[in-house]
Amino acid sequence: MPGAVAAGCERLVHPTVTGEADRLRQRRFIGVMLAAPFLAAGAAVTLVTSSLGAAVTIAAIFAAFGLCWFAALLVAATGHMALAGRMAVALGSLALAGAIAAAGGLASPGALLGLALPVETWWVSGSRRAALSGVLAAVAAIVLQPFADQILPLGEIAAWHWLLPLAWALTLLPRAAAFANPAGLRPAEPAGDRLEDVIDAVVLRAGRQGEVLDASAKARSVLKLAPELLLGTGLFDRVHLSDRVAYLTALADMREGAPKRRLELRIRLPREGSSAADNFRPFSLDLLRGEADPEVFMLVLRENDDVAALREELAEAREAAAAAEVAKGRFLAVVSHELRTPLNAIIGFSDMLLHEMFGAFNDPRQKEYVGLVRESGQHLLSVVTSILDVSRIEAGAYATELETFRFVEAVDMCRSMMRPLADAKGIVLATQIAPDAGEINADRRAVQQILINLASNAVKFTPDGGSVVIGAKRVGSRLHFWVSDTGIGIAEEDMANLGKPFMQIQNDYTRRFEGTGLGLSLVKGLVALHEGTMSIESAPGEGTTVTIGLPVSGPKRRAGAPSGVLAMPAPKSKGGRDGEGNGSLRKTA
């Protein structure tokens, strides 16, 4: 068979058939069954139409295609050829008897088709027993031919009846070389002379179109695949889509006379576990021209050790980074918890001393120092609380309680907390809440924390006499609220560091204020938990506006998240636009 036809038939062989000889027999049987109806259709048109009319001719053609293709599909579906083979020989004998009778009897050149049965059985199975059964079937057809005269009237013998045996004889030409070795088995080679025994690689033989004709046994150890699964287009089907162009180009170069080609490609291997998401592995492929047959290419497939080593190093680095991140989170959580207990005691005892519950101070400076201790303790407690919140968000363990509340209530609470600090600096703290702001389904504490952190930063970095505005409005199914100020602004080169934990923008103005750089990072995490968006627009000397967009109906809880805990959304793909993904951060200088 031509290489392309053989490769196509190879794909129809049942995967449970692993023996090379068995697969070859089934492949040839399927090929004969798929091609035989076309010869039978030609015989029906030339022999039957003139005697029995077009209706019987069409019925004979449909019967030939139906029965032959049923036998081919039966073998392809079950992997067993015994029943289908006997059925094909029996039906072939009956069809041959009818064809000889319709051609005018044994005197017609059509009788030469009797040779087809023993030849085709020998071609398919390569055994004398099968060839003998074909001979007996042909003899049976000749014996049955006189009885077929009662059904099919004898036709007239014509010279063009030679076309039928001639057409069948032409099918033998592309198979002539294989008839010398009908079983299709290669002669045994000395173990030390075979290429696959010398190198640690998979050696394949491929036709001009890239169809694999044979694969070495090392495919089981190198590719974790049975060699039979690579035959035909099996290898090409496992090449990564982005590497197929290079593979086909190398084949085209070999067909045009190139002595050899080398390329790097990725091959899909069987999964080694339910967690193995990426089962493509890097390999190097050498294409060589065969010495015995220049129409057959030698393919040497070996693992790409350099790329494989880099992949292993990358996997180890990722594991180390993940372990370090987990260790950092645990360390921060443990340290923060250990700090909260003494801080609460310091703040509590400082309050008692400031209220002079156990007597008045002898020196006014004592009360001033106790007040400084209390303020420092409260500041340190707020830092510890922020660290805990950030670590909980990163670990996906931030407890939330969704409820429906009026957004203006959270704004009023924020204003009441920020007003003393704003009044101390002469800053106007105003609001622009649209009437349609209405209610929102979210974690009230988280929304208040967002507003407080944004307003605190705005007041802190706005010079005396400036203004801070808190606004909100409905935009479709989302609530957009913002905090804008007339402060110092942010330079374009500093925008990249916004939202990162412990990152502070350093300039002459910000150095005068204490801070940890956790406020905006906490805001970004809380916004992401609510599947919201965050954008920052700022310019030096022109102020800053931070806009938050949250879904009014609330975030969707992820599958597997504990009750009362919102899972962090999956990272946005690189193809998305800024400001549109969950928790995305758009920055504009």
DSSP 446-461: HHHHHHHHHHHHHHHT
Report percent pLDDT > 90 for the chain: 15
Structure tokens at 312: 């292993």
Q: Are 532 and 548 in contact (CB under 8 A)?
A: yes
Structure tokens at 91: 């039906």
Mean pLDDT score, 190-211: 72
Q: What ranges make up the beta strands (E) of 269-408?
A: 280-289, 297-303, 402-406
Calculate ∠ Cα 405-406-408, nearest 5°: 140
Which among 257, 275, 281 has a CA at the least distance from the CA of 208?
257
CATH topology for the 399-588 domain: Heat Shock Protein 90 (3.30.565)
Chain centre to alpha carbon of residue 73: 32
Task: Just give the CATH number of 191-303.
Answer: 3.30.450.20
Cα–Cα dist 240/236, whole Å: 9
Q: What is the pLDDT of residue 152?
A: 59
Say if residue 58's pLDDT is above 80. yes
The residues spanned by each domain of the chain are 3-179, 191-303, 311-394, 399-588
Cα–Cα dist 234/301, whole Å: 14
Say if residue 364's pLDDT is above 70. yes
Say if residue 387's pLDDT is above 80. no
pLDDT digits (tens, 9 = 90+) for 485-519: 998 888 777 776 665 655 555 554 544 555 555 67
C-alpha separations of 289 from 157, 353, 510 in Å: 51, 94, 72
Q: What is the pLDDT of residue 80?
A: 83
Average pLDDT taken over every residue of the chain: 77
pLDDT digits (tens, 9 = 90+) for 256-289: 888 889 998 989 888 765 444 568 888 999 998 8
Same fold, 311-394 and 399-588: no
pLDDT digits (tens, 9 = 90+) for 393-420: 766 666 778 899 999 999 998 998 889 8
- What are the b/e assignments for 304-329, b being 16+ CB within 10 Å? beeeeeeeeeeeeeeeeeeeeeeeeb
More confident residue, 150 or 473: 473
Mean pLDDT score, 161-173: 75
CB atoms within 10 A of CB 448: 17
Q: Are 550 and 451 in contact (CB under 8 A)?
A: no
pLDDT digits (tens, 9 = 90+) for 324-340: 877 777 777 677 777 77
Mean pLDDT score, 317-323: 83
Structure tokens at 419: 């007003």
If you compute the radius of gyration of the chain from its CA atoms, what whole number of angstroms results? 42
Q: What is the pLDDT of residue 552?
A: 92
Say if residue 138's pLDDT is above 60. yes
CB atoms within 10 A of CB 577: 9
Provide the edge-to-edge strand list for the sheet that holds 297-303. Answer: 212-215, 202-206, 297-303, 280-289, 260-268
Q: Are 93 and 117 in contact (CB under 8 A)?
A: yes
Listed ranges 17-21, 104-108, 319-323, 550-554; the one with the highest mean pLDDT: 550-554
pLDDT digits (tens, 9 = 90+) for 70-126: 888 888 888 888 888 888 888 888 877 777 777 677 767 767 777 787 888 877 877
Task: Just give the CATH number of 311-394.
Answer: 1.10.287
Mean pLDDT score, 540-547: 89
Say if residue 479's pLDDT is above 90. yes
Specify the amino acid at residue 436: D
Q: What is the pLDDT of residue 426?
A: 93
Which among 267, 262, 263 has a CA at the least distance from the CA of 223?
267
More confident residue, 553 or 175: 553
Report DSSP letters for 524-565, one per residue. Answer: HHHHHHTT-EEEEEEETTTEEEEEEEEETT-PPPPTTPPTTB
pLDDT digits (tens, 9 = 90+) for 556-565: 765 445 444 5
